[in-house]
Amino acid sequence: MKPLYSVVVPVYNEEEVIRVSYDRLTKVMSTLKEPYELIFVNDGSRDKTPEILADICRKDKSCRFINFSRNFGHQPAITAGMDYSKGEAIVVIDADLQDPPEVILDMIKEWKNGYEVVYGKRLKRKGETFFKKFTAKVYYRVLKSMTSVDIPVDTGDFRLIDRKVCDTLKSMPERSRYVRGLVAWVGFKQKPVEYVREERFAGETKYPLKKMLKLAMDGIAAFSFKPLKFATGVGVMLTVVSLAAMLLSVILGIINSSFSWQMFMMLCVLLTQGFMFIFIGLTGEYIGRIFEQAKGRPVYIVRETIGFDDGGTEN
Ligand code: UDP
Ligand code: MG
């Protein structure tokens, strides 16, 4: 039977959590009495996650398993789940139960009211470090100020999207996929559902600082040119200031010859050099992404799938 709902769960090294997640998702989804599928995307886990998922998906006909050939990242995993989904409404949820599966029911209610994107807005984040909460809060606001796309603040990837939205996303060939931004960009009728983000059920975050920074830069580079334009602004400012300084140095040199202009100019040069390297780096961030896009490599590679009717393979 064609599922009405597809629940996409990206999973990376979640052996301690995944069975409980599966149980809770199944419990919630079966209350609806409508056909659904749970799509688990194993993003190159190095623990027992793939074995557990394969076992679950062989026993439960509502479950599907996509196994990546290596760790491609959270956003590619979500992308794969959407690509393989067949439901009319697609829900993306983390595996670690920080996003309570029960909230899906509220999202479905809004979908039935006619909304095409229903996103989870975090009222509170439990069990996360002050650093993470603070940087996330600042980041979402900085991003918002930098782009004309209305990317909602305090919102992750926990959301429901309609089949129309999913098909639109699938048709977008963007490589660095900042999914929450892309969903905002496509428009449609959007509605937030507020929820409290719980503590991780078990295990540790799979988002170390490096991955967080990459996601943050992906979001900015994909949705704003402001960092590049900022270089022009600073360039103009420095030109004006240095012209004024030159003029002043000539005047002061005539009046008082003891002032160390060499020292002052040295510091000015160092400062400008610093700015220049920052901007070269920022330009590089964009050029690197253009290069990624130009290479046209796939966003992810699937090694095997289980549970998909259309000839899913098993190794
Ligand atoms: N995840 C993934 N690939 C990665 C990192 C994370 O598929 O490279 C999954 C992870 O298993 C979880 C979700 O993405 O289901 C969010 O990760 P996590 O809970 O570690 O992030 P946090 O909530 O700490 O930001
Ligand atoms: Mg988490």
Q: What is the pLDDT of residues 207-237, one digit of tens each?
A: 888 888 888 888 888 888 888 888 888 888 8
More confident residue, 291 or 258: 291
Residues counted in the chain: 315
Q: Which of 3, 17, 86 is nearest to 53 (CA)?
A: 17
More confident residue, 33 or 262: 33
Q: How many whole angstroms from 3 Cα to the centroid of ligand 1?
A: 26
Atom 16 in ligand 1: which residue has the minimum CA distance?
94
Q: Which residues have C-beta under 5 Å from ligand 2, the single-atom ion?
A: 94, 96, 98
**How much is the pLDDT for 240?**
86
| Assigned token pair, 107 | 């999202």
Q: How many whole angstroms from 13 Cα to the centroid of ligand 1?
A: 9
**How much is the pLDDT for 259?**
63
pLDDT (tens digit per residue) in 114-166: 999 999 998 887 877 888 888 888 888 888 888 888 888 888 899 999 999 99
Atom of ligand 1 at shortest distance to CA of 72?
A: 8
Q: How many whole angstroms from 127 Cα to the centroid of ligand 2?
A: 10
Are the CB atoms for 170 and 6 separated by under 8 Å? no
Atom of ligand 1 at shortest distance to CA of 98?
A: 23
Atom of ligand 1 at shortest distance to CA of 156?
A: 25
**How much is the pLDDT for 217?**
86
Atom of ligand 1 at shortest distance to CA of 41?
A: 7
Are the CB atoms for 61 and 302 separated by under 8 Å? no
Backbone angles phi, psi at 20, to 5 degrees: -65, -40
Q: Is 181 helix (H, G, I), strand (E, B) or coil?
A: helix
**pLDDT, average across residues 274-287:** 85
Long-range CB contacts for residues 251-257, cutoff 8 Å, separation at least 24? none
pLDDT (tens digit per residue) in 47-61: 999 999 999 999 999
This prediction has a pTM of 0.78
Amino acid at site 66? I
Q: How many whole angstroms from 207 Cα to the centroid of ligand 2?
A: 8
